[in-house]
Structure 1
């Protein structure tokens, strides 16, 4: 039995996600909705339903198992859509699920290709796949040197049907790395040309959120919309920040204040006594800590939260289920009031990029971790 152990509430605005999908779609080409990792913590099934209502016909998930869960939901809802697994099959249990749940796997190794060919031959049933190319990430995928052998093996395994070709960009969100981005694009074009020459006509996708917003040359038949779907600007803090204008944050995280009390000058608070009051203060004890994915690493990093519509600095060490905030200048704060850790609306809202900066991470991790808490869809 799962027990809710906290007061943290993750509010997901599905209308914002739909609006972000429309914005990305306005740049041209089919947008694949990337809903991997539980839709970046926003809720896999709820986000997929919302995106399908905007006309999204292809969803990208991470693991095959997550794809199976999504297919089960889509079938129950009567939603027809393609599902693409970005990881592809990892172990033996994954392979049969591809056929059972109609999942198009990314295939980036000869091991995967040979295993798929064997399964297809035994079943006498073909499987559409996306051929994954490594064009510069040095992570997963076939390289340019693999192309001759890859084409040969695809011809020898006609039941493994390439319908898509994909690659991942390493630096598309960095305005100073355009040359690297274009070099990846050239390698991808070369791979597409080799497939076409061999008679394989595929739907290509290379652009991620940053690619959609900034790099027209990266757009092919389809694009993979990821972080921007959830309202985070991939160019935040850069000279290209304006390219993400109009994206609407979809996640708000709030929790309850459990106590408010005085902290006298010279008195320390929380474990280790790492924060000592330099003046007489009032502090709010907030029901959020590292057990709730509000990181201990935020301690002493200048983090803030929104209380009664005003910014309140976090003070002292973040504990397992509690932390503290300075509310000296915020009148009438009481136990039971909300403290907003992310979002909040208005000019003082806590952005994902801001919270990530205090945390020493990126907005992706902020969403994925905080999104593991109890969610409410608005």
Structure 2
């Protein structure tokens, strides 16, 4: 007997993900499928197989551990790890399972060199460069030292180079992005002159859709794969037309209650009824990854209509106003994301009420049980 601990059901439409990948491939070329963090909560293995059916040949995972999971699932395509190795075990596993790690620290290079003698053949790596995120990667000031190290350690073979854009989705920061482009171009030129002609990746989803000059020889398709438009509410928004949200999240109604005018509801009495109302008690709360920040702010979709959240979101429950929605009953469905009719909730709707971005909403809600629509 299977015991269910969650009331939420997360439905992943793999055809939508395939559609979104095709759109990215029409704009770019050699598009990596970014499936880190369990494919942004959409399912690492299932999404990789859907993308492979569309012709994807490179998958970008987060950790070496994710790469091992993907390799053991039967994936024989190229796998790169965006975080790279954090210890010697990661280095050994990267070599053993043919996972190409992102390398942006000399400590990582030294760890790899330490296991190189135990490994048949060269260890392939992706060089990660810092060009404006101020996060991970070798700086341009370290470039000469890096090239010298690589010359002295031929068992470590750079086959890729990458950097990460900070502002590709914001028209107000095009000049900043241009600076990153110039620095990365200089890095690639220096590497080439030193004998390292590598596959180069700078563009993310927004970069693929709007900035052709950033494409280089490969691009990384991330959030757009899952149907969120990274250019929404900018002058470039239409370039994301056609992307289809792949995640839909629903739960059940635990009760339908009458709320009298002047009656408070949920913790802290933060909502007091301004009229006689009908409310539904919905099985979703912060234990399910449905944020408390949605209190008195978010909405759910019931019977094709929007139902506003009243009062505080609880650990496993929230309360919504269904006064003007007919035929709301115990056991009925409430959609936290997606749904039907005019009340459909988009990823951007949910993220906006939540006070966050679609990435976080996907990752958190995707921790619940999933079903896959092929």
- Give the stretch that moved more between structures: 199-208 or 115-124: 115-124
Q: Which whole-Å CA distance do the structure 2 matches of 1:144 and 1:223 have between them?
A: 21
Q: Normalising to structure 2: TM-score of the pair?
A: 0.98
Q: Which residues in structure 2 correspond to 1:1-378 (within 5 Å)?
A: 4-74=4-74, 79-300=75-296, 302-378=297-373
Return the alpha-carbon distance in structure 1 between the equivalents of residues 145 and 117 of structure 2.
20
Matched residues in 1 for 2:341 and 2:160: separation? 42
Q: Structure 2 regions of 5+ residues with no counterpart?
A: none
Query: Does the CA contact (< 8 Å) of 1:6 and 1:321 recur in 2?
Result: no
Q: Is the 8 A contact 2:35 2:60 kept in 1?
A: yes
Comparing 345-354 and 314-323, the one that deviates more: 345-354
Distance 1:9 1:360 in 2: 23
Q: Structure 1's 22 and 194: CA in aligned 2 closer, same or farther, altered over 3 A?
A: same
**Count of paired positions:** 373
Query: 1:317-354: CA deviations, max 9, x gaps?
Result: 10010001000000110011100000124543211111
CA distance in 1, matches of 2:86, 2:340: 41
**Cα separation, partners in 2 of 1:144 and 1:2, compared to 1, 3 Å:** farther
Measured in 1, the distance between the counterparts of 2:362 and 2:218 equals 25
CA distance in 2: counterparts of 1:261 and 1:87, whole angstroms: 49
Q: Deviations over 1:188-239 (max 9, x none)?
A: 0000001100001100000000000010010011100000000000011222
Using structure 1 for the length normalisation, give the TM-score. 0.97
Superposed structure 1 runs of 4+ greater than 2 Å apart: 1-4, 121-125, 345-348
- Counterparts of 2:170 and 2:119, CA distance in 1: 46
For 1:364 and 1:110, the matched residues in 2 are separated by 31
Q: C-alpha offsets along residues 85-129 of structure 1, whole Å, 9 cap, x if unaligned? A: 000001222111011111000000111111112211343531111
Deviation, 1:3, is 5.1
| Structure 1 unmatched runs, 5+ | none
Q: Distance in 2 between matches of 1:5 and 1:150?
A: 50
Whole-Å separation in 2 of the counterparts to 1:237 and 1:354: 12
